Amino acid sequence: MSRSIEFFDYADEHFGWAETARSERERAIFLQMAAAWLEVAQRWEGFRPSTKETAECLGRLPNACGRLTTV
C-alpha cells in the first residue's frame, strides 16, 4: 500500500469519528485532524490543495473528497 493511501485512510477514519462525535467540540477536533491528514496525503502525492478546496472538502461528510473512497 502506498504511503499516501495510508494518509487518506487516516483522514477517512477521522471523518467517521466526526460523524459519531459526542459534542461539537469533539467533532471539530476530528474534522481538523482529517483536514491535516488530507493535506499530508495530497502533499505526499505532489498536490498542494488550496484553502478553498480543503474547506469545500470538509463541508461534506464523509468521503466528500472522492479520493477517500477509492483504493
Counted domains in the chain:
1
pLDDT digit string (tens) for 2-48? 788 898 899 999 999 999 999 999 999 999 999 999 888 888 877 66
Q: How many Å is the Cα radius of gyration of the chain? A: 11
pLDDT band at 61 (very low <50, low <70, confident <90, very high): very low
pLDDT of residue 68: 45
Owner of C-alpha cell 473528497: 65
DSSP 8-state secondary structure symbol assigned to residue 67: G
pLDDT at 71 over 60: no
Q: Which domain holds residue 48?
A: 3-69
Query: DSSP secondary structure string, 2-64?
Result: -HHHHHHHHHHHHHHHHHT-SSHHHHHHHHHHHHHHHHHHHHHTT----HHHHHHHHTSTTTT
